[in-house]
Amino acid sequence: MATDSELIIRAFELERLRGNFGVTATTPPEFLVSLHTLFQVLMSVVSARIEGNRTTIYEAIRAISEPDPSEGQREVDNIQKAMSFIDQMDPEGPLTHAIVRELHRISVDNLTREGDPNPGKYRGVDVEISKADHLPPSHLQVHAEMSDWLDFANRSLPTSQHMLHVAIAHHRFLWIHPFRNGNGRVSRLLSYAMLRRHGFVSPIGLRAVNPTAVFGNDRDGYYAALAAADNLTNQGTVEWCTFFVRGIHTDLERLSKLQDFDFVQNSLVGPAIDRLVASGGASLSEAYALRIAMQKILVRAGDLQPAFPGTASQRSIAIRGLLEKNLLAQERPGGRTYHLNLLGGRLGPLLVRQLDDLGYLPHILKDDAG
Give the Cα separation of 156 and 306 in Å (integer): 56
Question: Which 3 state secondary structure label does DSSP give 341?
Answer: coil
CATH class belonging to 261-357: mainly alpha
Kindly report, as residue ranges, where domains of CATH 1.10.10.10 are found in the chain: 261-357
Between 333 and 105, name the one with better pLDDT: 105
The lowest-confidence range among 41-45, 227-231, 285-289, 333-337 is 41-45
CATH number of the structural domain 2-257:
1.10.3290.10
Using the predicted structure, report yes or no on whether residue 303 has a pLDDT greater than 60: yes
Kindly report, as residue ranges, where domains of CATH 1.10.3290.10 are found in the chain: 2-257
Q: How confident is the model over 145-162, as a mean pLDDT?
A: 94
Using the predicted structure, report yes or no on whether residue 121 has a pLDDT greater than 90: yes
Using the predicted structure, report yes or no on whether residue 10 has a pLDDT greater than 80: no
**Predicted model pTM:** 0.82
Q: How confident is the model over 216-233, as a mean pLDDT?
A: 88
pLDDT given for residue 33 in this prediction: 78
The secondary structure of residue 344, as a DSSP letter, is: S
pLDDT given for residue 202 in this prediction: 56
Give the Cα separation of 132 and 105 in Å (integer): 25
Q: Shortest CA distance to 134 belongs to which of 94, 85, 183, 95? A: 183
Mean pLDDT taken over the chain:
87
Q: Find all residues with CB under 8 Å of 200, minimum gap 6, and list them.
A: 18, 207, 208, 209, 252
In tens, the pLDDT along 320-365 reads 999 999 999 999 888 899 999 988 778 988 998 998 888 888 788 7
Give the Cα separation of 354 and 348 in Å (integer): 10
Between 263 and 6, name the one with better pLDDT: 263
- Catalytic machinery residues: 177
The lowest-confidence range among 59-63, 242-246, 318-322, 355-359 is 59-63
Binding residues for ATP: 222-223
Give the Cα separation of 363 and 80 in Å (integer): 20
In tens, the pLDDT along 189-214 reads 999 899 888 877 655 445 556 777 77
